[in-house]
């Protein structure tokens, strides 16, 4: 009997800065898992954005947070997202849409990516309502001002924020 031909792996890419990852991001990743053979979380390596955490730290925090999902891999990329997707053999990029205010910039990115590579499709997914106001910027701000982040980020992220921003909190 001839071997059945294997169809290529269906891969979806979830790109972002993830500085740091929060539960809204994790909610999207969990929703993606059943839909694709492999989900690649792609961390942008762009020091111009002056991130709080290095790429290595962000990769470590995300890998720890998704360790229960064997079909999820976490990688960094620099340069164009569409080039990274070519390198992976992926055609689908997923972005989270929290509110209408996200739409304009996401629409621009989706159309630019399509222009750069017409084979790439952008899918938008919405996180659980409880997380629809979350952003990495707010997470850092609230932490630095002493606010409670319980239930909004993985525990490991709170630990890292403490190491990095603890000094800011102490003179509050």
- Contact (CB, 8 A) for 69 and 26: no
- Specify whether 87 is catalytic: no
- Specify whether 25 is catalytic: yes
Among 67, 89, 107, 112, binds ligand PNS (CB under 6 A): 112
Backbone phi, then psi, for 121, in 5-degree steps?
-110, 140
Residue 97 interacting with ligand PNS (CB under 6 A):
no
User: Would you say 6 or 49 has its CB closer to ligand PNS?
Assistant: 49
Residue 165, SS3 per DSSP: helix
Distance CA 57, CA 126 (A): 26
Q: Which stretch binds ligand PNS (CB under 6 A): 10-18, 26-34, 56-64, 156-164?
A: 10-18
Which listed residue (95, 98, 140, 160) is catalytic? 98
Distance CA 100, CA 167 (A): 36
- Specify whether 98 is catalytic: yes
Q: Which stretch binds ligand PNS (CB under 6 A): 68-76, 108-116, 125-133, 154-162?
A: 108-116
Among 15, 20, 127, 154, binds ligand PNS (CB under 6 A): 15
Number of residues that bind ligand PNS (CB under 6 A): 9
Shortest distance in whole angstroms from residue 109 CB to ligand PNS: 4
User: Would you say 132 or 169 has its CB closer to ligand PNS?
Assistant: 132
Structure tokens, 53: 């955490």
Among 80, 111, 145, 155, binds ligand PNS (CB under 6 A): 80
The length of the chain, given as a count of residues = 172
Omega of the bond prior to 74 within 30 degrees of 0, cis?
Answer: no
Structure tokens, 136: 């990495």
Shortest distance in whole angstroms from residue 4 CB to ligand PNS: 36
Distance CA 113, CA 115 (A): 5
Helices (H) and strands (E) in the chain, counts: 6, 5
Question: Catalytic site residues?
Answer: 25, 49, 98, 136
């Amino acid at each position: 009997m001839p071997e059945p031909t294997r169809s290529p792996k269906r891969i979806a890419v979830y790109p972002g800065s993830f500085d740091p990852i929060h539960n809204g991001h994790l909610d999207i990743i969990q929703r993606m898992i059943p839909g694709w053979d492999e989900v690649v979380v792609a961390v942008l390596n762009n020091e111009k954005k002056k991130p709080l955490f290095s790429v290595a730290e962000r990769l470590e925090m995300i890998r720890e947070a998704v360790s229960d999902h064997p079909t999820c891999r976490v990688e960094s990329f620099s340069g164009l997202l569409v080039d990274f997707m070519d390198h992976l053999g992926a055609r689908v990029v997923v972005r989270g849409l929290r509110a209408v205010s996200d739409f304009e910039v996401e629409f621009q990115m989706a159309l630019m990516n399509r222009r750069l590579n017409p084979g790439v499709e952008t899918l938008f997914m919405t996180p659980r309502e409880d997380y629809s106001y979350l952003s990495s910027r707010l997470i850092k701000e609230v932490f630095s001002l002493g606010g409670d982040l319980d239930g909004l980020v993985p525990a490991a992220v709170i630990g890292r924020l403490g190491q990095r921003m603890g000094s800011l909190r102490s003179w509050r």
